[in-house]
Structure 1
Amino acid sequence: MTAEAWAPRWFVSAREWLGRFPLSILQLGMRVGVGLVFFNAGLLKYNSFEFAVKLFEDEYKVPVLDPAVAARLAMFNELTFPVFLFLGLATRFATLPLLGMISVIQIFVYPNAWPDHVFWGSNLIFLLTRGPGALSLDYLIERYFAKRG
């Protein structure tokens, strides 16, 4: 029995209408939403770097890395790769360091913050596997080379 056979027409119509919502708008929202989380964290580190190093020494305690090096790496990742997400440029590549950061934070720093990490990671994995969508520089670059090739 099909959905149309048992579901009211308004339900089927609503489902079809919602199914036409542009995926590219959702992808843009994912890119901006997750990007802002990381970019704002990077700005905090940039604006108070000494405090960030102190946090890496006393609270985060990331193994192996010197706290100053870890703070610089985190700040670099948080200020660089979200910009790529915002622009939709090298989006799939830009998700990888951010997914790595989420993994480190989840395992070593805040294991109880898994709901946030699952949410951010799910958005990034979607972008990694499906791409940034039509509202991106990646899409424009791909179209340009498709026309030339």
Structure 2
Amino acid sequence: MKSNFLENLPWHDELAKKTATIEFPDYRIANAHIHTPYSFSAFDSMDTLFRQASQEESAVLGINDFFVTDGYETFHDGCVRNKIFPLFNIEFIGLLKEEQNKGIRINDPNNPGRMYLCGKGLDYPFSLNWWLRRKLKNVIRENQNQIKAMIGRLNRLI
């Protein structure tokens, strides 16, 4: 198993000494919230994602997939290859029925009752204890059941 990717970084005072003579740009391009093909994504592959990030001169990228951490290793390795600093995140979607029925919008302007929850700054390599792994598998299964139901409804319409 890989060790934590931050373990080999120097402490801030040592890093400051090592970089004291380097002239850094005023700002760097960062996108801390991207979805990959491991969940739901505009990118058809991880290669496409990194090609675009490199063209945009991104210095920081944050993987932010729905319900899964399956892409973390590929994402980490792609970031290292492309000299991009990786951030590890996860996103969950919830539905609050009472708020939905009342038309209350939480953090989705078009869907009352829908709520997005993001976990930021997760560890890499990522691991959960058995109980949390089981809970996450249940969330993924329920999400897949919902997607299957939506596909079934769409198929009946067309």
TM-score w.r.t. length of structure 2: 0.24
Q: Which has the higher helix share?
A: 1
TM-score w.r.t. length of structure 1: 0.25
Q: Which has the higher strand share?
A: 2
Structure with more relative contact order (C-alpha pairs < 8 Å, separation 6 or more): 1
